[in-house]
Structure 1
Amino acid sequence: MLIDIVDLSNTLTEAFTAVFQRAQRSLVVVHNGRDGAGAGVIWQPGGIVVTNHHVVARGKPRISLVGDREYPTRLIAKDPQIDLAILQADTAGEYDSDLPAAPIADSRDLRVGQVALAIGHPWGQIGAVAARIISSLGEVAVRGRRSSVSVIRTDVGLAPGNSGGPLMNVSGGVIGINTMIIGGDLGVAIPSHVVNAFVAETLGQEVPQVAM
């Protein structure tokens, strides 16, 4: 069967654009009191944001929506060994529709070779997106931790500002949180099921995962 490359390209472009536009509503900029900024994801309604620990390790974090106002924020949990942190934004009673949580997909369903989208603020470029290929699924040893950490590896490395941003599947579900600390120059993300376990342990409630 012949594939029309132009039609395929147009279809992928439309799909990626739609995913990115939806993702931006749940994407935040995490300001840490220093030059530059990291990224974060609204993980639950009510202003619960997940980001990397190293993004908020210094200074008092604040968050803002892409191109929007800032919110006072407090750090409610952190785990430097898996490079995750949970923030609570003071939304002052704003409707959840103004701060929508991202749909969370189950990373245990991933397969090597799938296309993924890394979204963040590389080199200060707010709200940028890049296509990735999942190159491997495995574990890495982390100093000071008895057990290894599950990771998603992609084919292209991350840049400063990508940290804490979502890795998404082509249906728009978050499958991981990008990190530069564990992966170094490699493109590495903490899988969403690991993030969910951390959030559930902290908040005492499971985050529903959607089939995407």
Structure 2
Amino acid sequence: MNVEGRIAGLTTTLAEALADVAQRVQHSLVLVQSGPRGSGSGIIWRPNGVVVTNHHVVAHGRPRITLADDREFAARVVVNDPEADLAVLQLDALGLPAVTIGDSRHLRVGQLVLAVGNPWGQRGLVTAGVVSGLGETAAQGTRRAVPYIRSDVGLAPGNSGGPLVDATGAVIGINSMIVGGDLSVAIPSHVAGALVADALDRRVILGVGVRPVPLPATIRGQIGAAQAAGLLVVELAPNGPADRA
């Protein structure tokens, strides 16, 4: 086979592989509706009804979730992180098609990525691009450094909260916004994963519901804390370890 034939064969194989990846991720994509301000996207993080989306997508009312199979659920916001623009939701459902989570700490500029979301209410649309940059930005009003991924995937209103995936279909980011008209920003999956673990795994052990809140400068000064945020206890599981303590 000549060089042109080999290239054509590789191109066809890559195209088919990416189509398979997109279809697989679409099964885990959800439509998020909250309040009167339109809709966004989310991704099934765990099969027991855990969904991750953007904070700004669920900031205007109790969210309702529509799955890829058109089932609808009322969602409970477990934790919000406005600084990272992330939210963790809980559905009363089991056996959902969760995505594979990748490790965004190993991302490299130039890697191929896909964005899957619901722009303008059109469900499951896919766009492709490459990672353009990796960095951190200071959260407004705090000293917290929030990592981000920049890419040239096409996003539009409704893509917010949807997954950014690598060529294997592993989620490596949560799409958040568009900057400069042609660059998209996503929150890395390791940031979202840490929020899920803090909100759910620690809660299972201690029976405590918490959410992150900014620490006022006066409190930071009194306790000598360098971090800009702390955890506010908002719920105790009845007869759980924390409740019995």
Normalising by the smaller structure, the TM-score range is 0.7 to 0.9
Query: Which position in structure 2 is the counterpart of 1:138?
Result: 135
Cα contact 1:137–1:151 (8 A) shared by 2: yes
Shift of 1:8: 2.9
Unaligned runs of 5+ in 2: 203-245
CA distance in 2, matches of 1:118, 1:106: 16
TM-score (norm 1): 0.88
Cα contact 1:81–1:144 (8 A) shared by 2: no
Q: Deviations over 1:14-71 (max 9, x none)?
A: 0111001111121111011325310001111210000000000002101011251201
Query: Which position in structure 1 is the counterpart of 2:195?
Result: 198
Shift of 1:184: 6.7
Aligned partner of 1:102 among 99, 102, 118: 99
Query: Which position in structure 2 is the counterpart of 1:70?
Result: 72
Q: Deviations over 1:161-198 (max 9, x none)?
A: 110000000101000000017x5743011001111111
By relative contact order (CA 8 Å, sep 6+), the higher-ranking structure is 1
Q: How many residues align?
A: 199
CA distance in 2, matches of 1:105, 1:172: 9
CA distance in 2, matches of 1:184, 1:191: 20
CA distance in 2, matches of 1:5, 1:161: 36
Q: CA RMSD in A?
A: 1.8
Cα contact 1:76–1:87 (8 A) shared by 2: yes
Query: Which position in structure 2 is the counterpart of 1:148?
Result: 145
Three-state SS of the structure 2 residue aligned to 1:180 is strand
The change in CA–CA distance for 1:156 and 1:103 in structure 2 (over 3 A counts) is closer
Three-state SS of the structure 2 residue aligned to 1:49 is strand
Three-state SS of the structure 2 residue aligned to 1:193 is helix
Alignment of 1:126 onto 2:123? yes
Unaligned runs of 5+ in 1: 206-212
The change in CA–CA distance for 1:44 and 1:184 in structure 2 (over 3 A counts) is farther
Cα contact 2:176–2:185 (8 A) shared by 1: yes
Percent identity, aligned pairs only, is 57
The change in CA–CA distance for 1:184 and 1:121 in structure 2 (over 3 A counts) is farther
Query: Which position in structure 2 is the counterpart of 1:57?
Result: 59
Query: Which position in structure 2 is the counterpart of 1:2?
Result: 3
Aligned partner of 1:16 among 15, 18, 27: 18
CA distance in 1, matches of 2:52, 2:32: 10
Cα contact 2:114–2:153 (8 A) shared by 1: no
